[in-house]
Every structure is written in structure tokens, then in C-alpha cells.
């Protein structure tokens, strides 16, 4: 019985493919964590800036 050509794949090749997919998955998770941290910090700074501008407007500094 002959194995069809499409089913021939070495175990090493399959392991390399899985390894690459796991590395990509980890890299995406790290990038998303960094972006989430950056945008959360940006949101706090933006909120503080809005408060400062409103207070400056109410005190007639603007």
C-alpha cells in the first residue's frame, strides 16, 4: 500500500511548523500586551490633560 503524496510529511517538518506557529502566537501576545499597556497609559495621560485644560479654562488661564 502506497501512501498518497499529500500525506507525506516528516515528523520533524511538522514539529518545525508547530514551533513556528507557537513562536508567532507568543510574539503576537507580547505585542498586544505592549500595545494594551501603552494605550492604557495614554488614556490616563489624556484624561489628566483634559482635566488640566478644563481647570485652566475655569480659572481663566486660557
The tens digit of pLDDT for each residue in 3-30 reads: 566 667 788 888 999 999 999 999 999 9
Assess whether pLDDT exceeds 70 at residue 2.
no
Give the three cell numbers for residue 45.
495621560
Residue 47's pLDDT band, with cuts at 50, 70 and 90, is: confident
The mean per-residue pLDDT over the stretch 29-50 comes to 87
Share of the chain above pLDDT 90, in %: 42
Grid cell locating 40: 492604557
Q: How many CB atoms lie within 10 A of CB 46?
A: 11
pLDDT of residue 3: 59
Amino acid at each position: 500500500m502506497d501512501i498518497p503524496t499529500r500525506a507525506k510529511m516528516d515528523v520533524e517538518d511538522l514539529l518545525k511548523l508547530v514551533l513556528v506557529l507557537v513562536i508567532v502566537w507568543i510574539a503576537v501576545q507580547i505585542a498586544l500586551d505592549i500595545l494594551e499597556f501603552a494605550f492604557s497609559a495614554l488614556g490616563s495621560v489624556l484624561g489628566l490633560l483634559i482635566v488640566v485644560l478644563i481647570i485652566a479654562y475655569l480659572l481663566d488661564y486660557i
